[in-house]
């Protein structure tokens, strides 16, 4: 497995036309051309904007292409990484609800909730 960090400045985001979740999706997917007959072999998480840049974490089976905009740093994940008994992690979900009047599914916007994990 390969862990990568894609860093995009505000200028990179404008050049890449990242204005919503679909724009970000399009930018990340462009780093992994589809393989015929193969399922998607990567996951990504947008860590948001900080100090005029955006950070996207990517875990993949193959090395991503060099981005047209921004920079990417990749490192191999050691084979023994999953040999530990416990791990700390963060879960990212995209909660939605159905509007009663229109029947549309809309995103629920709120602050992130951190829940401590105890054994």
Q: What pLDDT is stored for residue 105 in this prediction?
A: 85
Q: What pLDDT is stored for residue 62 in this prediction?
A: 93
Residues 19, 29: Cα–Cα separation, whole Å: 16
Residue 21 pairs in a beta bridge with none
State whether CATH 3.40.190.10 applies to domain 2-78: no
pLDDT band at 119 (very low <50, low <70, confident <90, very high): very low
Map out the domains of the chain as residue ranges. 2-78
Q: What pLDDT is stored for residue 99 in this prediction?
A: 87
Dihedral Cα 100, 105, 89, 46, nearest 10 deg: -140
Q: For the segment 94-107, what is each residue's pLDDT rounded down to a tens digit?
A: 778 888 899 888 87
| CB contact at 8 A, 33 and 65 | yes
Dihedral Cα 104, 105, 107, 108, nearest 10 deg: 90
Q: For the segment 38-97, what is each residue's pLDDT rounded down to a tens digit?
A: 888 999 988 877 778 899 999 999 999 999 999 999 999 998 888 888 888 777 677 788
């Amino acid at each position: 497995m390969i862990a990568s960090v894609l860093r995009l400045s505000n200028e990179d985001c404008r050049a890449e036309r990242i204005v919503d979740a679909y724009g970000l999706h399009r930018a990340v997917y462009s780093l992994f051309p589809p393989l015929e007959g193969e399922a998607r072999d990567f996951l990504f998480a947008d860590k948001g904007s900080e100090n005029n840049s955006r950070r996207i974490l990517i875990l993949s089976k193959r090395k991503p292409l060099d981005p047209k905009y921004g920079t990417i740093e990749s490192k191999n994940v050691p084979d023994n990484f999953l040999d530990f008994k416990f791990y700390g992690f963060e879960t990212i979900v995209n909660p939605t609800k159905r509007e009663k009047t229109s029947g549309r599914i809309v995103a629920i916007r709120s602050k992130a909730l951190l829940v401590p994990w105890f054994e």
